[in-house]
Amino acid sequence: MGKMIDFFFLTANLLVGEAQTWLFVNLVQPVLFHFHLMVDDDFAYDGLLWFLAGVLQIAAVYAVLRPLEAWRPIERWSSRKALRVDVIYTLINRLGLISLLLFFTLQPMYDSLQEWLRLRDIDNLNLESLWPGISDRPLVSFLLYLVVFDFAGYWYHRWQHQIQWWWELHAVHHSQRQLSLWADDRNHLLDNLLQAAWFASLALIIGVPPGQFVALSLVSGALQSLQHANVRVPFGWLGERLLVSPRFHRVHHAIGYGHELGHHNNARLYGCNFGILFPWWDMFFRSADFDTPVQPTGVRAQLPPPEGQGEDYGDGFWAQQWLGIVRMARHLPDLRPASHKRAV
């Protein structure tokens, strides 16, 4: 079975590579030549892989999840207008430009660091050196990288909630009150840059090949689209403890439960259910909530008084970006952890 899956990975990689080469030679390269941009041909070739994979992922996710949202929604809305801006966020993120740019921008810096370590006989954390031959077993290395990335993502997500200025950027994501398959990528661009740098650096440190990095991003993105989807999918007791479900993640977005302070359970300071793909880290670090039923989602501060402060988080893309910067700047002088009195 393992050999069959490895064969599938290798075959899929070969087919995508052939499609990437064909598109580059027949479409992209002539454009670069015409505009005298051949100096950037390597970057354009790598970028085409991200773009092609992103287009296929968006199409596949929409084809699967949109009918499910229409068939078994958790909430029924009179209008889907609020979701339009999330489509813009999805196109920006899933087509891979930010991740690609950072991955290859950080590569020369990482190579210099590697040389510095080698001159001092210091081993790095490259998994190939810790487990020789792992790169020859695509499925094993993919699953191992996935777990490592998920653990790093869990803590990145918790920090977004614990550090006040960082939360003000992350609140762009939580301010969407109509969660859908498009909501996962609704993030502030500055937060996107920080996140892309975090994961690109990790990928370079542990030696993730570029192709594996793309595959990891695709699988993670597809599963996170499912988590945010407005769909009622029963995972069961065991399933919810193996993979983050839409219900589990919706609690994280719930006003008064998922990301507010001062809840009755002190272990849930700053919120709960931070897991990206797996709920294991929430279970281990006591931040899991499997019991709370479906609740309204959003940020308490955006609710009208007396429930909230009536704060404007913006309806359009640029308004959301600008207001996020304004909120962040308001808290930059205070670099202490977020106060337990914060209303979110």
pLDDT tens string 211-237 = 788 788 889 999 999 999 999 998 999
**Global pTM value:** 0.82
Residue type, 46: D
Distance of CA 332 to the CA centre of its chain: 24
Alpha-carbon span 226 to 182, nearest angstrom: 9
Share of the chain above pLDDT 70, in %: 72
Residue type, 147: V
DSSP notation for 67-99: HHHHHS-SS--S--GGGHHHHHHHHHHHT-HHH
63-118 confidence digits (pLDDT tens): 999 999 999 999 999 889 999 999 999 998 888 666 666 655 666 666 676 666 66
121-179 confidence digits (pLDDT tens): 655 566 666 666 666 676 778 888 899 999 999 999 999 998 889 999 999 999 999 99
Top pLDDT among 322 and 41 is at: 322
Distance of CA 116 to the CA centre of its chain: 32
Alpha-carbon span 246 to 65, nearest angstrom: 12
Distance of CA 240 to the CA centre of its chain: 19
Residue type, 307: E
Residue recorded with tokens 């065991």:
238
Provide the pLDDT confidence category of residue 31 given band limits of 50, 70 and 90: confident
CB 274 within 8 Å of CB 252: yes
Alpha-carbon span 54 to 215, nearest angstrom: 10
Helix (H, G, I), strand (E, B) or coil at 288: coil
Alpha-carbon span 23 to 17, nearest angstrom: 10
